[in-house]
Structure 1
Amino acid sequence: MKVILIVLAVVAVIMIVLGMIAKQKSEKYYKYSNPVGEIEKQYTPMGSYKVAKLEITSGDQQIGRFVIYYPEAVEDSKEKYPVVLWANGTGSKSKTYTPFLKHLSSWGFIVVSNDDENTRTGASLNAGIDMLMAENEKSDSKLYQRIDLDRIGIGGHSQGGPAVFNMAFVQPHADMIKTVYAVSATSSYHTRTFENGWEYDISKVHVPTLLTAGTGSFDAGTAESPDQKSDEKAGIMQGICPLWSLQENFNLLPDDIDKAYFRKKGVDHGDSYLQFDAYMTAWFR
């Protein structure tokens, strides 16, 4: 009996240690990214700004709350800081992206997220801009007159891809968006199937746009065109953001804007936003 208790105690300690290691790797993911190349080596580490946090309750139940990460220097500065608003993937809330959002803010951005788990229409991004406009005019706000509303970028993961595309041309504040970033954006194959606000027309996005995705099975799938239906027996799977989708969206974007797309080997859908973090940061910079 004594031996069994000792074994259980040892197992418990091991589990606690493993949990602590996992938490450490999650919170400081950038230290475990093994950066390669000039861009990754420059932008994978944390930036030079210490990051502060502000939460604002939304009147919209779907949005829940806005979570804002911003350079602490904002509070004592006379400068205005650029903004990035983030659109969550399906079923995700702000806390899913916490370390990632803090990392972006450390590079000098006011970063706005929320708890909308169904971001596709871009409405919660638009509401975030409304909130920022209000905060910028509140004399008792820590962000009073420190938000550069002329430099607003938007980024999104998975369902957040349709969200940023729709924000950039459908929503009321579309004309305030200066650049778009989408990682593993849901393809037109899926958006046509889902309907109900998933659809987007990326050809109407007229600001610089960066598109990224991984080559992993969930992101890339095996289908080579939007015309192929997923068929498990035939070995055909429509990934969330396959190569054909990146090419389709790139080609539909106007030719008179800066635009780019690329994939990264060995990266799949679940953590693609982390794997492209350095490139996203460089793009917004």
Structure 2
Amino acid sequence: MQDLSRRRVLQAGLLTAVSAGLLSRTTAAQAGTIEAHFAVPGPWAVATGTSGGHRLYHPADLGAGGLRHPIVTWGNGTAATPDNYPGLLNRLASWGFAVVASTDTTTGTGTEMLAALQHLVGLDADPSSPFHGKLDVTKVAAVGHSQGAGGSVNAANLSGGLVTTVVPIALPAPIWVSPGDAFSVAALPCPVFFMSGTSDWIISPSSAVTGYYNQAAHGAAKAMLKGAGHNDIQNTGGGFLGYLTAWLMYQLRGDALARGAFVGSPPQLLADTAWQDQATKGLA
């Protein structure tokens, strides 16, 4: 591994348990408490670096408390690099995920994301690596934006079961997908969470997201963030981070609070008035 540098990000205390007063509020308000819990930085200090040409974002104290860190492989949007997504990538690392990000500006085929993932899995098996024995290679998410959202679907389908959940953010409607980047949501072997914004009506409109959601066969959720545009996931990550983090905590770490955002009577995501066109299916 080369040029591994460390830098600290601010840590924030997690929200305390819901008070008796909050318990008397509406389900919509309760939904906000779950989103807010995961919308702040997690308890881990973050280190960054490079390895094999890929960018790394991970807990600085790898393996503390005996935790094996789940893996997230990231796919950039067209012409973007990991530097366009500091809020998202650092935030996920602060919640205990080991993130590997392709530096390629075209990630639609998924092969770039899969290569980055395989590199990090290889570091877990390398006795000379600080990642050795510190990663949970059975809990892996492919997450991407725009072209990289399609790449996340392709990476999962190409991974032979290595990827266990997918989050496509602002997944382009079929008209925008080039033949070389074509993907099949119907072929996904794992749960998927589709996220987009209501102002992204040209590239990733609700109609397209719903069409993809309807094709998913192994559990799915979808939601449109009110007022969000196509590139709002860049820079700070905007309003996407709470439910994105909750999904990954639910899918990759079995977190009970996070699960409540997507499973319940009703799932609390469905009651959150900051979002629209929400739906879930087939989730346990």
What is the TM-score of this pair, normalised by structure 2? 0.73
How many residue pairs end up in the alignment?
Answer: 220
Report matched runs for 1:7-26 at 5 Å: none
Report matched runs for 1:79-228 at 5 Å: 79-169=67-157, 171=158, 173-191=159-177, 194-195=178-179, 197-216=180-199, 219-220=200-201
1:75 CA drift (Å): 5.7
Aligned sequence identity (%): 26
Any stretches of 5+ residues in structure 2 without a counterpart? Answer: 1-8, 13-28, 250-284
Q: Does 1:244 align with 2:207?
A: yes
Structure ranking higher in helix proportion: 1
Q: What does the per-residue CA deviation read over 1:126-185, in whole Å, with 9 as the maximum and x for residues that have no partner?
A: 10122112211222211111111101111011111110111111x2x2311110001101
Does the CA-based 8 Å contact 1:167-1:174 persist in structure 2?
Answer: no
Q: Does 1:284 align with 2:248?
A: yes
- 2:49 aligns to what? 54
Structure 1 or 2, whichever has the larger Rg, is: 1
Evaluate the alpha carbon distance shift between residue 272 and residue 56 of structure 1 in structure 2; reply closer, same or farther with a 3 A threshold.
Answer: closer
Report matched runs for 1:29-40 at 5 Å: 37-40=32-35
Q: What does the per-residue CA deviation read over 1:221-253, in whole Å, with 9 as the maximum and x for residues that have no partner?
A: xxxxxxxxxxxxxxxxxx110111011101111
Report matched runs for 1:70-85 at 5 Å: 70-74=58-62, 78-85=66-73
What is the TM-score of this pair, normalised by structure 1? 0.73
Amino acid at match of 1:277: L
1:79 CA drift (Å): 3.3
Higher relative contact order (CA 8 A, sep 6+): 2
Q: Match of 1:174, SS?
A: coil
Does the CA-based 8 Å contact 1:84-1:153 persist in structure 2?
Answer: yes
Amino acid at match of 1:283: W
Does the CA-based 8 Å contact 2:197-2:226 persist in structure 1?
Answer: yes
Q: Match of 1:118, SS?
A: coil
Amino acid at match of 2:227: G
Amino acid at match of 1:102: N
Any stretches of 5+ residues in structure 1 without a counterpart? Answer: 1-26, 58-64, 221-238
Q: Match of 1:202, SS?
A: coil
Cα separation, 2, equivalents of 1:147 and 1:176: 13
